[in-house]
Chain A
Amino acid sequence: DSGVTQTPKHLITATGQRVTLRCSPRSGDLSVYWYQQSLDQGLQFLIQYYNGEERAKGNILERFSAQQFPDLHSELNLSSLELGDSALYFCASSVGGAKRQYGYTFGSGTRLTVV
């Protein structure tokens, strides 16, 4: 157990639907990152939050959105789902807010299958 909890582990849904993926960061970590991993694209950075505020955006589609709540857990919302959105979605957390370097901790991911 890495300390980063992602739910659900697996999700199967139909095209056009909307889903929410949840991430609880490791205790004490303020930054949360979302990544998408598909077979042909590798690990792609989507978005980062730090202490409730959006800090960086990567290749995140407009159909996707995220937020980080006061208790620091984060949710990634995927809407109008397409077959190509099928992928593994990882959440990571880090301490952030300090000059010292730390490793980032990843969750075990949510496998999304769009049919």
Chain B
Amino acid sequence: DAKTTQPNSMESNEEEPVHLPCNHSTISGTDYIHWYRQLPSQGPEYVIHGLTSNVNNRMASLAIAEDRKSSTLILHRATLRDAAVYYCIPKRCIIQGAQKLVFGQGTRLTINP
């Protein structure tokens, strides 16, 4: 499993953009980059994933470096509900049975009103 490095914590203000970085320098060419978040007292929640190109969905954007050794999750306009622990997870694609998610320590994001 590829190792990831994320800041332990970050803080931002409501309605401002947030950029959450992740280093995954040992990622293999077939690993997708997944992001999950865990709100207080809840199970993890899928946010977004990508392979090489930048990706957008209704929750966030994912910017992937050209060498794929790092990525950045972008919350365009943070709300108080975005306060959570964010996990960056490289995940291999296999044909049958799917691949388990290996969670690191993640980044605890605090949003100030």
Contacts and interface: CB of A to CB of B under 8 A. Distances in A.
Nearest to A95: B98
B58 interface: no
Interface in B45-79: 45-46, 49, 51
Contacts of B87: 43
Interface in B61-113: 87, 91, 93, 95-98, 100-106
A101 B32 contact: yes
Contacts of B43: 2, 4, 90, 92, 106-109
Contacts of B105: 42
B44 interface: yes
Query: DSSP majority for the B interface?
Result: loop
A86 interface: no
A31 B97 contact: yes
Nearest to A34: B100
Interface residues of B, number: 25
Contacts of A98: 95
How many chain A residues sit at the interface, stated as a range, is: 20 to 34
A96 B45 contact: no
B93 A101 contact: yes
Given A31-B98, A48-B100, A96-B96, 18 more contacts: A2-B43, A2-B45, A4-B43, A31-B97, A33-B100, A42-B106, A45-B102, A48-B97, A92-B101, A96-B97, A97-B95, A101-B32, A101-B34, A101-B91, A101-B93, A102-B98, A103-B49, A104-B36
